[in-house]
Amino acid sequence: MRRDVFQAIADPTRRAIILLIASQAMTPNAIAEHFNTTRQAVSKHLRILAECQLVTQAQSGREIYYQLNGDKMQEIDKWLDQFRKIWESRFNELDKILLTLKNDKK
């Protein structure tokens, strides 16, 4: 089954994993230490994140390190940007209304 990035980030554990590896690459064992779950459960979450290309793997000796794929995160940001623009527009309109009300009181 092919998942998309939005399915991947819908899960709170996967979002927490993304936050963990955003600043540095980590092994599955190091990631699992931050959760009250099994190593296998964390591996499943990592597999889903990798399928969606939100994380990449790098081998160093016998260890596999997972790191965030910033390019794929931009896809999420681009999608969210349309909503930012809508809300900014609405807030600007609200600012205008509030300023008009404030000026009318004077």
User: What CATH number did the domain enclosing 23 receive?
Assistant: 1.10.10.10
Query: What are the two backbone dihedrals, phi and then psi, of residue 34, each rounded to the nearest 5 degrees?
Result: -90, 0
Q: How confident is the model at residue 1 (pLDDT cuts 50, 70, 90)?
A: low
Domain housing 93: 5-105
| Residues 6 or more apart in contact with residue 90 via CB below 8 angstroms | none
Which 3 state secondary structure label does DSSP give 65? strand
Structurally, how many domains does the chain consist of?
A: 1
Q: How confident is the model at residue 57 (pLDDT cuts 50, 70, 90)?
A: very high
Which 3 state secondary structure label does DSSP give 37? coil
- For CA atoms 27, 32, 33, 34, the dihedral sign is positive
Inform me whether the pLDDT recorded for 56 exceeds 70: yes
Q: How many residues does the chain have?
A: 106
Structure tokens at 5: 């990035």
Average pLDDT over residues 73-92: 89
